[in-house]
A and B are shown apart, each in its own frame.
Chain A
Amino acid sequence: MTALQVFTISLYFLAFVLYVLLGSYIIYKNPAALVNRLCALAIASFAIWALGDVFFRPMASPSPSMLWQNIASVGWCSFPATVFWFYLALTGHERVARNPLAIIAGVAIVAFFISQQWRGSLVSGFAIAPFGWVHVWASGYIPILFYVYYFVLVLGCFYLVVRYGSRSQSLRRKRQARLLTVTPLVCLALGSVTDVVLPRLHVTLLPSLAVVFVLLWGAALARAITRYGLMSLTPAAAAENILSTMNDLLVLVDTQGKIVHANRAALALLGYQEEELRDKELSSIVSWPGSATPLSFPELLNGGAVHNQELTMSTNGGAPLPVLLSTSVMKTEEGEPVGVVTVAHDIRDYQEIQRALRESEQKYRSLVDHALVGIGIHQGGKVVFANAELASLLGYTVEESLGLPIADRIHPDDRNLVMARARRRQAGSTEPETYEIRLLRKDGSAVHALISNAVIEYEGRPATLMTIADLTDSKTRVELEQTNKELESFSYSVSHDLRAPLRSIDGFSQALVEDYGDTLDAQARDYLYRVRAASQHMAQLIDDLLMLSRVTRAEMWCEPVDLTTVAETIAADLKATEPGRSVDFTIAEGVSAQGDAALLEIVLQNLLSNAWKFTAKHPRATIEFGVAEHGARPVYFVRDDGAGFDMAYVGRLFAPFQRLHTSAEFGGTGVGLATVQRIIHRHGGDVWAEAQVEKGATFYFTLEP
């Protein structure tokens, strides 16, 4: 053998090996899919052709070569048909590809040409060339017929794949189609030259290389598969894959009620090998609880389908497996049942969760039901949940209480404040969680209660969980009311009785001065003057103390208060008392607050009067009232540029009867700021001061924490 012959043979052999590998790979990718099987079949044609070529060229005489040529002809006679068949399946003509008549016709044509070759009507002889034997086409019409067959089917393939590519919307498919159009075109051109044209012209320049050239098409196929996923997934393949790998149990049962197939999940969960389960009765692994006889199989088959029914399956070891089971009957097109598909979903986890949920629900429900406090939820302004205690606290039944507008159940005095807090709380701001509140019962009477709030999610939306303790009968409440009553009667007598003697002291001292003035010397008159001053001071003290006690006891009415107007009125009054003073009031426009109007007026009265008083020694003074935002909270302030005070004593500022100035410097009882502090605290706010001696003082206050 010459080196050229060895090279040629190696080429054919290599082609054969590559065809075998490619065919195996395609089958491996998806053995069940028709398109993969047909592709492998087409490749097998080429493999046989290549194998034949390996052997027929180096033979010493033509006769064994003819045998191998005949064997190779099984490949080269069949490939146009197998490739066309594959292209049909590939381009979505599966129905044609599966048509028995078409298949028989194809097989007949292929068999015809193979038989013609074996009879010597296609390739009739050989010529010797440097690379081995070269085939010589027979004369007559049979080879022409073969060429026609070959061209028609190859062109048919082009037609199919080009149409498939142009009709497809997917870029991926277009690229696939292009790949599977261009490469066979090249193969066709080159192969026709080496295998048909040159032998026909008796030019032995090249061996017949068509089968090698077709490798190019094979490479394109391999690329189409790896790059574009050709033939790797079809709906049927996917369905089969899903069924075998899904977590639900799938059992196929024939018309006799015998199991014919069970998927992986069914085998694993029931603890069987596939062959153990095959031919078992379905009723042996499914028990219908509550009835001694399970739904009979004929019933199932004749339309008694089960849908998502909670049943128990029994495992190999006899242990129960709770499932949600559905069946559906598969029928032929004529309506003849062929079997039953049974799908079961393992619900052990679900049942466990349900049980835990039930227990937890039971625990909390009994906690809520037996709680000694009212527990409820309001959402969107309406009560959406109430326990018995809350309902009875409000004078309703639980059913009646649902849907009640929550605002209507709050005492009008507290309503605005509470609703504003609830809104802000929902908006994410930190609000006092626990506070006293007056609720309205169904009959309109008020209930003193302690409420605690928390923002929760209820049925997917934000809501407020409230816990309400009735304070009406609580010991502290009763004691508090008692104390308040005593305090009230005490204040009442102080108000009436403590002042009367002071009036006598003052009045008769004055009478003494008036009636006996001439007999009294200057010192005696001075003493009487001091007696009167002291009694008047004491009267002031009593008034201030009463005020302090009143602001503690007074019922609060929360409403919007126009602080600007209040401050302006007070400023005008102050100016009127001492018209000679040069004081500028700078009062910010539009300052308003939520609170008790009367109490807030007392606050401003005290703070502005203080500012007025402590600027008295300055020839010119400015007093400012305004509001500053501090975080989200308004901070109100009263600022003056008067005497100020030493910050070292700021701790004593708000204690009653504590004064930072002598009476000779500035008059006063030392109760005013204590009153201010008490009012501010009752509003839930804070008050503080900053000052510098002779530079002035600023008092700040907030009304809600």
Chain B
Amino acid sequence: MEKKVILLVEDNPDDVDLTLRALKKGNIVNEVVVARDGVEALDYLFGTGIHAGRDLDLMPALVLLDLKLPKTDGLEVLRRLRADTRTKFLPVVVLTSSKEEQDLLNSYELAANSYIRKPVDFLQFTDAVKQLELYWLLLNEPAPRRRTR
């Protein structure tokens, strides 16, 4: 069985630690790849830049995407990712601080699969992450992988 990787796109180190902690608390043992900005996330997904030469058959089972990111922001990442056949059907959960209407609209417009607002209460956050894992990694059937090569 293939190992399911989670791609966490998050620039705030505190949030990275807290998210990882919440994943651990939720007994999620999947490998978590952290991208600290949008460029790094796209490099990982398309095997470019610092991730040049990465085996692109191994795509993350879930992308946790923050919206406010340095360099390329989350919405741009989402747009590029949806435009590419290799990543078109990747489950992307927007995990961010705001629930501004425009953020929600833009995300769904770009076919985000889900939108979670990070709760301030860490216990609630943990709970949310656990449910995310349960749903996207265990219950959800991903789109069949396209063999392009």
* Chain A residues in the interface with B (C-beta under 8 A): 491-492, 495-497, 499-500, 502-504, 506-511, 532, 535-536, 539, 550
Contacts and interface: CB of A to CB of B under 8 A. Distances in A.
Nearest to B98: A495
B14 A508 contact: yes
A215 B109 CA distance: 116
Closest 5 CB pairs of A and B: A495-B98, A539-B120, A504-B14, A507-B122, A507-B18
Given A492-B98, A503-B14, A511 B120 contact: no
B12 interface: yes
Given A506-B120, A507-B21, A536-B120, A495 B100 contact: yes
B99 interface: yes
Contacts of A506: 120-122
A506 B124 CA distance: 11
B15 interface: yes
Given A510-B122, A532-B121, A535-B120, A503 B98 contact: no
Interface in B102-135: 102, 118-123, 125
B122 A491 contact: no
21 contacts: A491-B100, A492-B102, A495-B99, A496-B68, A496-B96, A496-B97, A496-B98, A499-B97, A499-B98, A499-B120, A503-B18, A503-B119, A504-B12, A504-B14, A507-B18, A510-B122, A511-B18, A532-B121, A532-B122, A535-B120, A536-B120
A497 B96 CA distance: 10
B121 A511 contact: no
A504 B18 contact: yes
B12 A500 contact: yes
A431 to B, nearest CB: 32
A539 B121 CA distance: 9
A317 B137 CA distance: 115
B21 A503 contact: no
Nearest to B19: A507
B21 A511 contact: yes
A569 to B, nearest CB: 20
A88 B122 CA distance: 124
A503 B100 contact: no
A503 B99 contact: no
Looking at chain A's contact residues, the main secondary structure is helix
Contacts of A510: 122-123
A506 B97 CA distance: 14
Contacts of A503: 14-15, 18, 97, 118-120, 122, 125
B56 to A, nearest CB: 32
Contacts of B118: 499, 503
Given A492-B100, A504-B18, A536-B120, 15 more contacts: A495-B97, A496-B96, A496-B97, A499-B97, A499-B120, A503-B14, A503-B122, A506-B121, A506-B122, A507-B122, A508-B18, A510-B122, A511-B21, A536-B121, A539-B121
Contacts of A504: 12, 14-15, 18
Nearest to A494: B98
Nearest to A598: B101
B13 to A, nearest CB: 9
A532 B98 CA distance: 20
Contacts of A500: 12, 14-15, 97
A663 to B, nearest CB: 17
A269 B88 CA distance: 101
A507 B100 contact: no
Interface in B55-81: 67-68
Most chain B CB neighbours (cut-off 10 Å) among A504, A511, A535: A504
Contacts of B96: 496
Contacts of A491: 100
B57 to A, nearest CB: 35
Contacts of B97: 495-497, 499-500, 503
Interface string B1-41: 00000000000101100100100000000000000000000
Contacts of A492: 98, 100, 102
A504 B67 CA distance: 18
Nearest to B118: A503
Nearest to A554: B101
A535 B14 CA distance: 15
A502 B120 contact: yes
A348 B12 CA distance: 93
Contacts of B67: 496
Contacts of A508: 14, 18
A503 B122 CA distance: 7
Contacts of B18: 503-504, 507-508, 511
A187 B81 CA distance: 131
Contacts of B119: 503
A496 B117 CA distance: 10
Contacts of B120: 499, 502-503, 506, 535-536, 539
Contacts of B121: 506, 532, 536, 539
B23 to A, nearest CB: 13
A504 B21 CA distance: 12
B27 to A, nearest CB: 14
Contacts of B14: 500, 503-504, 507-508
A539 B120 CA distance: 7
A506 B12 CA distance: 15
A508 to B, nearest CB: 7
A510 B127 CA distance: 14
Contacts of B123: 510
A231 B62 CA distance: 118
Nearest to B100: A495
Contacts of B99: 495
Nearest to B14: A504
A528 to B, nearest CB: 11
A535 to B, nearest CB: 6
B94 to A, nearest CB: 12
A585 B99 CA distance: 31
A504 B119 CA distance: 11
B103 to A, nearest CB: 8
A536 B124 CA distance: 11
A495 B98 CA distance: 5
Nearest to B22: A507
A500 B14 CA distance: 9
A675 to B, nearest CB: 16
A539 B122 CA distance: 12
A364 B97 CA distance: 61
Contacts of B21: 507, 511
A507 B125 contact: yes
Contacts of A496: 67-68, 96-98
B100 to A, nearest CB: 5
B77 to A, nearest CB: 16
Nearest to A510: B122
Interface centre among B21, B98, B99, B123 (most CB of A within 10 A): B98
A508 B97 CA distance: 17
Nearest to B13: A504
Contacts of B68: 496-497
Contacts of A495: 97-100
A550 B98 CA distance: 13
A254 B12 CA distance: 117
Contacts of B101: 550
Nearest to B21: A511
Question: Which of A492, A499, A511 has the most CB atoms of chain B within a 10 A radius of its CB?
Answer: A499
Contacts of A507: 14, 18, 21, 122, 125
A539 B123 CA distance: 15
Nearest to A515: B21
A507 B121 CA distance: 7
